[in-house]
Amino acid sequence: MPPQPGAAVARAFRGRGTCRFTSAYQANLFQTRAFGKQARRPQNPERKHDSPTQWLFPAKAVSRALSGRPLPQRRSFFLNFMYRSAAIFGTGVGFFGFLVAAFFIYDSTTYKETSFFGECRVSEFALSPRRGGPKNLPIIDALIDDDDTEAKRAQKQKPRLVILGGGWGSVALLKELDPDDYHVTVVSPKNYFLFTPMLPSATVGTLELRSLVEPIRRILSRINGHYVRAEAQDVEFSHKLVEVSQTDAHGKEMRFYVPYDKLVIAVGSVTNPHGVKGLENCHFLKDINDARMIRNQVMRNLELACLPTTDDAERRRLLSFVVSGGGPTGVEFAAELFDLLNEDLTIRFPKLLRNEISVHLIQSRSHILNTYDEALSKYAEERFARDQVDVLTNSRVKEVQSDKIIFTQKNEQGEVVTKELPMGFCLWSTGVSQAEFCKRIANKLGDSQTNRHALETDTHLRVAGTPLGDVYAIGDCSTVQNNIADNIISFLRGLAYKHGKDPENLELHFSDWRNVAADVKRRFPQAAAHLKRLDKLFGQFDKDQSGTLDFGELRELLGQIDSKLTSLPATAQRANQQGLYLAKKFNKMASAAPGMSANDIRDGDLDEACYKAFEYHHLGALAYVGNSAVFDLGGGWGLTGGIWAVYAWRSVYFAQSVGLRTRFLMMMDWMKRGLFGRDLVSF
Q: Which residues 505-564 are close enough to bind its own copies by CB under 8 A?
A: none
Q: Which is nearer to its own copies, 88 or 416 (CB)?
A: 88
How far is Cα 103 from Cα 93, in angstroms, rounded to an integer? 15
Q: Which is nearer to its own copies, 421 or 461 (CB)?
A: 421
Beta carbons within 8 Å of 26's beta carbon, 6+ residues apart: 9, 10, 13, 18
Neighbours of 318 (CB within 10 A): 25
Site for its own copies in 594-613 (CB under 8 A): none
Smallest gap from residue 575 Cβ to its own copies (A): 21
Smallest gap from residue 474 Cβ to its own copies (A): 23
Q: Which is nearer to its own copies, 401 or 548 (CB)?
A: 401
Smallest gap from residue 601 Cβ to its own copies (A): 34
How far is Cα 113 from Cα 293, in angstroms, rounded to an integer? 39
Smallest gap from residue 91 Cβ to its own copies (A): 4
Over the window 415 to 444, marking each residue x when it contacts its own copies by CB under 8 A and - when it does not, the resulting string is ---------x--------------------
The answer to whether 12 contacts its own copies (rule: CB under 8 A) is no
Q: Which is nearer to its own copies, 74 or 378 (CB)?
A: 74
Smallest gap from residue 460 Cβ to its own copies (A): 32
DSSP letters, 51-63, are STHHHH-HHHHHH
Q: Which is nearer to its own copies, 47 or 509 (CB)?
A: 47
Please return the burial class of 123, using the count of CB atoms within 10 Å of its CB with bins 0-12, 13-18 and 19+.
middle
Site for its own copies in 264-323 (CB under 8 A): 287-289, 292, 299, 301, 303-304, 306-312, 314, 317-318
Smallest gap from residue 151 Cβ to its own copies (A): 13
**Residue 291 corresponds to which amino acid?**
A
Smallest gap from residue 623 Cβ to its own copies (A): 17
Site for its own copies in 324-343 (CB under 8 A): 339, 342-343
- Only one of the segments 116-124, 365-373, 434-442, 447-455 lies at the binding site for its own copies (rule: CB under 8 A); that segment is 116-124
The answer to whether 655 contacts its own copies (rule: CB under 8 A) is no
Smallest gap from residue 408 Cβ to its own copies (A): 26
How far is Cα 184 from Cα 158, in angstroms, rounded to an integer? 9
Beta carbons within 8 Å of 645's beta carbon, 6+ residues apart: 628, 629, 630, 631, 639
The CA-atom distances, in angstroms, between 591 and each of 178, 182, 580 are 10, 11, 17
Contact pick of 37, 117, 452, 602 for its own copies (by CB under 8 A): 117
Please return the burial class of 466, using the count of CB atoms within 10 Å of its CB with bins 0-12, 13-18 and 19+.
buried
- Only one of the segments 119-127, 488-496, 508-516, 594-602 lies at the binding site for its own copies (rule: CB under 8 A); that segment is 119-127
How far is Cα 31 from Cα 39, in angstroms, rounded to an integer? 8
Q: Which is nearer to its own copies, 117 or 544 (CB)?
A: 117
- Only one of the segments 168-176, 177-185, 533-541, 662-670 lies at the binding site for its own copies (rule: CB under 8 A); that segment is 662-670
Q: Following CA atoms 555, 560, 566, 568 in sequence, which dihedral angle do they give, to the nearest 10 degrees?
A: -40
Q: Which is nearer to its own copies, 349 or 541 (CB)?
A: 349
Smallest gap from residue 69 Cβ to its own copies (A): 7
Beta carbons within 8 Å of 354's beta carbon, 6+ residues apart: 341, 342, 345, 346
Q: Which is nearer to its own copies, 23 or 577 (CB)?
A: 23
Contact pick of 150, 157, 248, 599 for its own copies (by CB under 8 A): 248
Over the window 125 to 144, marking each residue x when it contacts its own copies by CB under 8 A and - when it does not, the resulting string is xxxxx--------x-x-xxx
For strand 226-229 and strand 183-188, is the pairing parallel, antiparallel, or unpaired? parallel
Contacts with its own copies: how many residues (CB under 8 A)?
A: 163
Q: Which is nearer to its own copies, 200 or 469 (CB)?
A: 200
The answer to whether 652 contacts its own copies (rule: CB under 8 A) is no
Neighbours of 105 (CB within 10 A): 9
The answer to whether 396 contacts its own copies (rule: CB under 8 A) is no
- Closest by alpha carbon to 293, among 282, 304, 303? 282
How far is Cα 552 from Cα 531, in angstroms, rounded to an integer? 18
Contact pick of 534, 646, 648, 652 for its own copies (by CB under 8 A): 646
Contact pick of 191, 272, 451, 548 for its own copies (by CB under 8 A): 191
- Chain mean position to CA 118: 41
Q: Which is nearer to its own copies, 320 or 571 (CB)?
A: 320
The answer to whether 252 contacts its own copies (rule: CB under 8 A) is no
Helices (H), 156-228: 168-176, 199-203, 216-220
Neighbours of 65 (CB within 10 A): 15
How far is Cα 531 from Cα 521, in angstroms, rounded to an integer? 8
Contact between 640 and 629 under an 8 Å Cβ cutoff? The reply is yes
For strand 213-215 and strand 192-194, is the pairing parallel, antiparallel, or unpaired? antiparallel
- Only one of the segments 185-193, 467-475, 519-527, 608-616 lies at the binding site for its own copies (rule: CB under 8 A); that segment is 185-193
Site for its own copies in 193-212 (CB under 8 A): 208-210
The answer to whether 261 contacts its own copies (rule: CB under 8 A) is no
Smallest gap from residue 534 Cβ to its own copies (A): 52
Q: Which is nearer to its own copies, 357 or 520 (CB)?
A: 357
Contact pick of 58, 59, 104, 603 for its own copies (by CB under 8 A): 104
Site for its own copies in 352-381 (CB under 8 A): 352, 354-355
Neighbours of 89 (CB within 10 A): 10
The 3-state DSSP class for residue 390 equals strand
- Closest by alpha carbon to 521, among 561, 578, 567? 561
Q: Encode burial over 366-402: b for 16+ CB neighbours within 10 A, e otherwise.
A: ebbbeebbeebbbbbbebbeebebebbbbbbbbebee
The answer to whether 570 contacts its own copies (rule: CB under 8 A) is no
The answer to whether 179 contacts its own copies (rule: CB under 8 A) is no
- Only one of the segments 221-229, 534-542, 546-554, 565-573 lies at the binding site for its own copies (rule: CB under 8 A); that segment is 221-229
How far is Cα 72 from Cα 244, in angstroms, rounded to an integer? 75
Over the window 19 to 48, marking each residue x when it contacts its own copies by CB under 8 A and - when it does not, the resulting string is xxxxxxx-xx--xx------xx--xx-xx-
- What is the DSSP secondary structure assignment for residue 344, as one 8-state letter? I
Q: Which is nearer to its own copies, 59 or 675 (CB)?
A: 675
Contact pick of 37, 250, 498, 532 for its own copies (by CB under 8 A): 250
Q: Which is nearer to its own copies, 112 or 532 (CB)?
A: 112
Smallest gap from residue 443 Cβ to its own copies (A): 27
How far is Cα 173 from Cα 216, in angstroms, rounded to an integer? 12
Q: Which is nearer to its own copies, 114 or 505 (CB)?
A: 114
- Closest by alpha carbon to 466, among 498, 441, 440? 441
Site for its own copies in 53-92 (CB under 8 A): 54, 65-74, 77, 79-81, 83-85, 88-89, 91-92
The CA-atom distances, in angstroms, between 60 and each of 54, 216, 505, 639 are 8, 53, 98, 56
